[in-house]
Amino acid sequence: MRTRPLKVALLGCGVVGSEVARIMTTHADDLAQRIGAPVELAGVAVRRPSKVRDGIDPALVTTDATALVKRGDIDVVVEVIGGIEPARTLITTAFAHGASVVSANKALLAQDGAALHAAADEHGKDLYYEAAVAGAIPLIRPLRESLAGDKINRVMGIVNGTTNFILDKMDSTGAGYQEALDEATALGYAEADPTADVEAFDAAAKAAILAGIAFHTRVRLDDVYREGMTEVTAADFASAKNMGCTIKLLAICERAADGGSVTARVHPAMIPLTHPLASVRGAYNAVFVESDAAGQLMFYGPGAGGAPTASAVLGDLVAVCRNRLSGATGPGESAYAALPVSPMGDVVTRYHISLDVADKPGVLAQVATVFAEHGVSIDTVRQHGRQDGDGEASLVVVTHRASDASLSGTVEALRKLDTVRGVASIMRVEGE
Amino acid sequence: MRTRPLKVALLGCGVVGSEVARIMTTHADDLAQRIGAPVELAGVAVRRPSKVRDGIDPALVTTDATALVKRGDIDVVVEVIGGIEPARTLITTAFAHGASVVSANKALLAQDGAALHAAADEHGKDLYYEAAVAGAIPLIRPLRESLAGDKINRVMGIVNGTTNFILDKMDSTGAGYQEALDEATALGYAEADPTADVEAFDAAAKAAILAGIAFHTRVRLDDVYREGMTEVTAADFASAKNMGCTIKLLAICERAADGGSVTARVHPAMIPLTHPLASVRGAYNAVFVESDAAGQLMFYGPGAGGAPTASAVLGDLVAVCRNRLSGATGPGESAYAALPVSPMGDVVTRYHISLDVADKPGVLAQVATVFAEHGVSIDTVRQHGRQDGDGEASLVVVTHRASDASLSGTVEALRKLDTVRGVASIMRVEGE
C-alpha cells in the first residue's frame, strides 16, 4: 500500500459535510485499505469559521474555498455546498488545478452537468455524484455501470423524501396537504421554505440527471415537465382508494414506444397499491427501473439525511481515489444517443378526471362526446348526485391511454360546456 | 473511438450464453459507444456443436474451450458454463493467456474465489461476477463500490428464486411442500433434480460470496451454515400467520454486535409481513443491506433467467472492456479485514418452537424450567389441547434473542422430557 496520503478538500461542512469528515476520521484505516493509500482531510472550506465542529482540526478550516481548490496538491475535492454558485466555479477551478471532484449537488448537475463533465474530461479528471440522486441508494452507479450492457426503457421513482412523507401522512391519516406539511415541518422533514420540495424543483433536477444517464442523452432541467403536489387533496386520496391506488409524487423518465425519443416529468400520480412503489413509506425513496434484458429492478433506501448522503459521497471518494492511483478515470458523460426529448404533450398515459357537472339528463352524453372528439377513449365513468340539493353532480372519468396533448384539449373543451361547472382534479394514473 | 475491436470468447451457449451472444450482436453499436471500442464475438465454446444457435456464425463455434482461451488474442472470456471443472481451469488459463474474465459461476466463486482472484491479480487482469448473485440485480457492484466508504453490518436476502416461488405458493394457497414443488417444476422454475435449490446449496454459495464482499473477509462455502426448506410445512405457515409473519428462505450475513467476527447462514425463517422482504413474490429476489451510514437499503429484481443474467454479464463486460482500454483494473478481492467467521452456535436470534406434549398439568412448568436452565428467555407461550382425545397438546414457544447453541441445548433437553412427545418444528424469527 502506498503510504503517501491522497489529499481531500471538503467544501461545505453542514449536515452532510460534517458526516463525511467524521467518517473519514473514524474509518481512516478501512478507507486506506479499500483505496490502497491513506486519505487525508487537507482542508475544509466553510462560510462561518466560528461554528464549532467536533473532531475537525481548526487549523484545516478556511473561509477561502477558492484558495483551497487552487492549492494544487489536492487530489479530490468533495463539494457539499449545494446551489449553483460558488459551487460551479469551485468545481471547474478544482479540475483546472488537478483535482477530481465528488459532488452531491443535484441542482448544479441538472443544470450544468454537460459543461462540468466537459471540464472534467478536458483535464482528465473524474466527476462523480452518486449522492445527488436518492441519497444513500446506489442508483447512478447501477444505471451507469451495472446496466451498461442493457437498454433502459423506464426509470420511475420516488426521489423526494419530504413530499413522500407528506403524501404518506395524507394517505394514512386523511389529513389535508397543509396539515401534513405542518407536521413534516415540525419533525424536520420539510424546510421552513418548502418550495423546492413541494413544487418538485428538487425532484425535477433528479429526473433530469436520471434521464440523462439512463438514455445516454443530454436532458436539461428545462426538458423536464414539472408539477408540484400542493394541490393534492384528501378528496384525491379518496378517489385513489376507490381505484385501489394511492398517490405518489413520481419522477418518470421514459423512452417512447418507438425508441426514437424520450420524456422526463415529475408530477403527482395515482399508482396501484400492488405496485412496489406504493408501499414506500415516510421519507424513504425508491426507484423502479425497467430494461430490455434485466426486466424490473427496484432500489430502495433513505433518500436524504447527513449520514446516508455521506455514505454515497464516500463510496464515490473511494472510487475516485482508486482511479487516481491507477491513473485511470471512471465513466464520464455518456450522451452519444442524443435522442430528442419530447414535450409533455407527447407523453402517453391514463388519466383520472373529476368534474363538477349539472345534475340533469344528457350531461354524461355531452361529456363523453367531448372525449370522443379528442380521441381520448374512456375506460370507466362514475356519476353521482351530491345530494346537497344544489343541482350539481360529480362525474369521475378514467381514461384509457392517451397523449397528454389530447387530454389537455379534452379538458379545455370540457371547461367550455355550460353543464360542466368545474374540473375538480386531473391526475395521471401510472404503474399499471 | 478506437476502431480495432476487443475480442470476447464465450464459454457456454445455453440459456444465458445465447442471450449474451444475441445482445452483443443486436446492441453492438450501443456497446461500442459505451465501451469506447467495438466488441467482437471471437469464439463460442460449446459441448454440443450440432445444436442450432440462432444468430451465431457457425464458424465461431468450437468444442475446444481450452484452445479458445489459449488463443492469446482474446481480451475478455465470458464464462457461463457453471460448475467447478472445467470452468476453473479455463478461467485460470484465460488469465495466464492475457484475458480478463466475466463469470456467472456462483458455485466456483464461492468455493475458489480467493484462488481465482489471486490468479487474476498475478496477471493484472479483472475478474467480475455480478451475475453470480441475484441475477440481474446490481448487488456485487453496489456492495463493493457504492458502499466502499461505509460499514456494512448485515446483508439479508432472498437469493434463490425457485425456493421463493415454492414458499410463496405454499403461503398463498396453503399447499404443502411437495405440491408447490410439483407446480414449480411444471412451470420450469425448478429443475428436474431440485436439490441445489431446495437444500439451499445455491443460496449458501451466494451467501459466501456476499459475506466475503460485505465484510472484506474470506468466507468459504464451508463457513456457511446451511439448512434447506424441504421440511417447511403448511402448519409452519399457519404458525407464521398467527405471528403476523410469513416464511422465506433467507441468506443472512451478519457482523457480530462487537464487530469482531461475522457469520453467514442460509435457512428458512419467519419474517414479519411488514418487512420489505415479506412481499417479494414468485421467483423474484431481493436483498436487504444494513450499514452504519446508509442505513437500510433494498435491491429487488429477477434473480435468474437468461436475459436478466445476461444483463448482469454484459454490464460486467462493458466495465472490464473499459478497464482494458484505460490500462487499469477494477477492484479485486478485498479481504484485508480477515475477521473470524463464527459457527452457527454463536448466532443470536429469536426462535419459534412447536412441541407436542402430554396434555396434563405441570407440563408448561417443566418446559419453562428447561428453557430457563439453558438461559433462553421465553417471550410468549401458546398452549392448546388437540381435542382429538389422544391426551396430547401442542405448545408453541417464541423466545427472546438467544444464541443458537443455547437453543440447541434447550431442544436437546426438551426431547429427553417424558412429557414432550416430539419437537414438531423449530424456526428462526428474523427481521424484527
Instruction: List the single residue in B136, B295, B314 with the smallest CB-CB distance to A308.
Output: B295
Please give the full DSSP string across B332-365, using - where no structure is assigned. ----TT---B--GGG-EEEEEEEEEEESSTTHHH
DSSP 3-state of A419 = coil
The Cα–Cα gap between A25 and A57 comes to: 11
- Cβ-defined contact of A137 to B297 (cutoff 8 Å): yes
Nearest CA in chain B to A39: B149
Q: From CA B171, how far away is CA A125, in angstroms rounded?
A: 53
- Asked if B30 and A151 come within 8 Å (Cβ–Cβ), the reply is yes
Q: What is the ipTM of this complex?
A: 0.93
A14 is in an annotated binding site: yes
What average pLDDT does the structure give for chain B?
A: 95
Q: Provide the pLDDT for residue A49.
A: 81
Note the pLDDT tens digit of each residue in B303-316: 889 999 999 999 99
CA atoms within 13 A on the CB side of A164: 25
Closest CB from B294, B302, B308 relative to A311: B294
Q: Do A299 and B295 touch (CB under 8 A)?
A: no
d(CA B310, CA B120): 22
Ranges in chain B annotated CATH 3.30.70.260? 345-429
The arithmetic mean of pLDDT across residues B138-156, rounded, is 96
Strand-pairing partners, residue B352, are B398, B427
- Where do the DSSP E strands lie in A3-67? 6-11, 39-45, 61-62
Q: What is the pLDDT of residues B167-221, one digit of tens each?
A: 999 999 999 999 999 999 999 899 999 999 999 999 999 999 999 999 999 999 9
Average pLDDT over residues A47-69: 89
CB contact under 8 A, B294 and A31: no
A335 has a chain B CB within 8 A of its CB? no
Residue B42 is predicted with a pLDDT of 97
Burial of B127 (0-12, 13-18, 19+ CB in 10 A): buried
- CATH: 2.40.50.140, 3.30.465.10, 3.30.70.260, 3.30.70.790. Which one for A344-429? 3.30.70.260
- Residue B48's pLDDT is what? 87
Of the candidates A70, A206, A241, A360, the residue annotated as catalytic is: A206
Q: Which whole number is the average pLDDT over B109-131?
A: 97
Chain A residues whose beta carbon lies within 8 Å of the beta carbon of residue B301: 294-298
Residue A15 in grid coordinates:
449536515
Is B124 within any annotated ligand binding site? Answer: no
Locate the DSSP E strands across B277-329: 284-291, 295-302
What whole-number distance in Å separates Cα of residue A253 and Cα of residue A163?
Answer: 19
Statement: residue A389 has pLDDT above 80 = no
Say if CB A158 and CB A250 are below 8 A apart.
yes
Helices B28-35 and B15-26, interaxial angle, to 10°? 80
pLDDT at A317: 98
- What lies within 8 Å, CB to CB, of A331 at 6+ separation is A144, A145, A148, B322
Are B351 and B374 within 8 A, CB to CB?
no
CB B110 within 8 A of CB B87: no
pLDDT at A52 over 80: no
- Provide the pLDDT confidence category of residue A392 given band limits of 50, 70 and 90: confident
Q: Which CATH number fits domain A6-135+306-326: 3.30.2130.30, 3.40.50.720, 3.10.450.50, 3.40.1410.10?
A: 3.40.50.720
Q: How far is CA B344 from the centre of its chain?
A: 17
Report whether pLDDT(A387) > 70.
no
Alpha carbon distance B274, B280 (integer Å): 11
DSSP string, B31-62: HHHHHTS-EEEEEEE-S-TTS--TTS-GGGEE
Q: Is residue B422 classed as helix, strand or coil in its secondary structure?
A: strand
B292: contact with A, CB 8 A cutoff: yes
Q: What percent of chain B has pLDDT over 90?
A: 89
Contacts with A323 from chain B: Cβ below 8 Å: 328
Spatial separation of the C-alpha atoms in residues B61 and B58, rounded to whole Å: 5
pLDDT digits (tens, 9 = 90+) for A89-127: 999 999 999 999 999 999 999 999 999 999 999 999 999
pLDDT confidence bin for A323, thresholds 50/70/90: very high
Report the Cα–Cα distance between both ends of chain A, in Å, rounded.
Answer: 52
Closest Cβ–Cβ partner in A301, A314, A318 for B296? A301
Looking at A212-221, A359-368, B35-44, which range is the least confident one?
A359-368
Cell match 484545516: residue? A60
Please tell me which of the candidates A142, A295, A322 has its beta carbon nearest to residue B142: A142
> How far does chain B reach from its first CA to its final CA, in angstroms?
52
pLDDT at B104 exceeding the cut of 70: yes
Work out the pLDDT band at A35, boundaries 50, 70, 90.
very high
A301 has a chain B CB within 8 A of its CB: yes
Q: What pLDDT score does A385 carry?
A: 73
Instruction: Give the contacts of B19 (CB within 8 A, at least 6 positions apart).
Output: A293, B306, B307, B309, B310
- The per-residue b/e assignment along B71-98, b for 16 or more CB within 10 angstroms, e otherwise, is eeebbbbbbbbbeeeebbebbbbbbebb
DSSP A145: I
Of A130, A145, A302, the CB nearest to B315: A145
Task: List every span in chain A annotated with CATH 3.30.70.260.
Answer: 344-429
A136/B294 CB distance under 8 A: yes
> What whole-number distance in Å separates Cα of residue A240 and Cα of residue A96?
53
Say whether the peptide bond before residue A142 is cis (omega within 30 degrees of 0). no
The ranges of chain A annotated as CATH 3.30.360.10 are 140-302
Nearest of A204, A174, A173, A202 to residue A189 by alpha carbon: A202
| Cβ–Cβ gap B319/A27 under 8 Å | no
Q: Band the pLDDT of A396: cuts 50, 70, 90.
A: very high
The verdict on whether omega for the bond into residue A86 sits within 30 degrees of 0, i.e. cis, is yes
Q: Which of residues 62-121 of B touch A (CB under 8 A)?
A: none
- Judge contact between B221 and B205, C-beta under 8 A: yes
Confidence at B236, pLDDT banded by 50, 70, 90: very high
Of B19, B298, B311, the CB nearest to A147: B311
Section B26-42 average pLDDT = 96
CB atoms within 10 A of CB A53: 17
Q: Which of B7, B125, B169, B206 is catalytic?
A: B206
Cβ distance B130 to A146 less than 8 Å, yes or no, reads yes
CB-based contacts of B331, cutoff 8 Å, min separation 6:
A322, B144, B145, B148
Q: Which residues of chain B make contact with A23, given a CB cutoff of 8 A?
A: 149-150, 293
CA A240: distance to chain centroid? 23
Residue A178: burial class (beta carbons within 10 Å; 0-12, 13-18, 19+): exposed
How far does the CA of residue B414 sit from the closest CA of chain A (Å)? 42
Q: Which residues contact A304 (CB under 8 A, 6 or more apart)?
A: A135, A161, A162, A283, A285
Instruction: Give me the residues paired with residue B297 across strands.
Output: B289
Interface-testing mutation among B26, B125, B311, B323, with chain A (most A C-beta atoms within 10 A): B311
- Would you call A31 and B149 a contact, using CB atoms and an 8 Å cutoff? yes
pLDDT tens string A213-258: 999 999 999 999 999 999 999 999 999 999 999 999 999 999 999 9
Q: What is the mean pLDDT of residues B28-45?
A: 96
Q: Is A17 annotated as a binding residue?
A: yes
Higher-pLDDT residue of A389 and A66 is: A66
Other C-beta atoms lying within 10 Å of the C-beta of residue A75: 22
Position A55 scores a pLDDT of: 81
CA distance A424 to A235: 10
Nearby residues of B298 by Cβ (< 8 Å), 6 or more positions away: A298, A299, A300, A301, B276, B277, B286, B287, B288, B289
Confidence tier at B389 by pLDDT (50, 70, 90): low
Q: Is B139 helix (H, G, I), strand (E, B) or coil?
A: coil
Whether residue B125 is predicted with pLDDT greater than 80 in this model: the reply is: yes
Q: Does A13 appear as a known binding residue? A: yes
CATH of domain B140-302: 3.30.360.10
Q: Residue B253 pLDDT > 80, yes or no? A: yes
What is the per-residue pLDDT for A50? 77
How many pairs of residues across A and B have Cβ atoms under 8 Å apart?
Answer: 191
Q: Is domain B345-429 annotated with CATH 3.30.70.260?
A: yes
Active-site residue flag, B70? no
- Residues B323, A328: C-beta atoms closer than 8 Å: yes
Q: Which part of chain A is CATH 3.40.50.720?
A: 6-135+306-326
Judged against a pLDDT cut of 90, whether residue A375 lies above it is answered with: yes
pLDDT beyond 70 at B26: yes
User: Which A residues 245-284 touch B at CB under 8 Å?
Assistant: 276, 279
Q: Note whether A314 contacts B130, CB cutoff 8 Å.
A: no
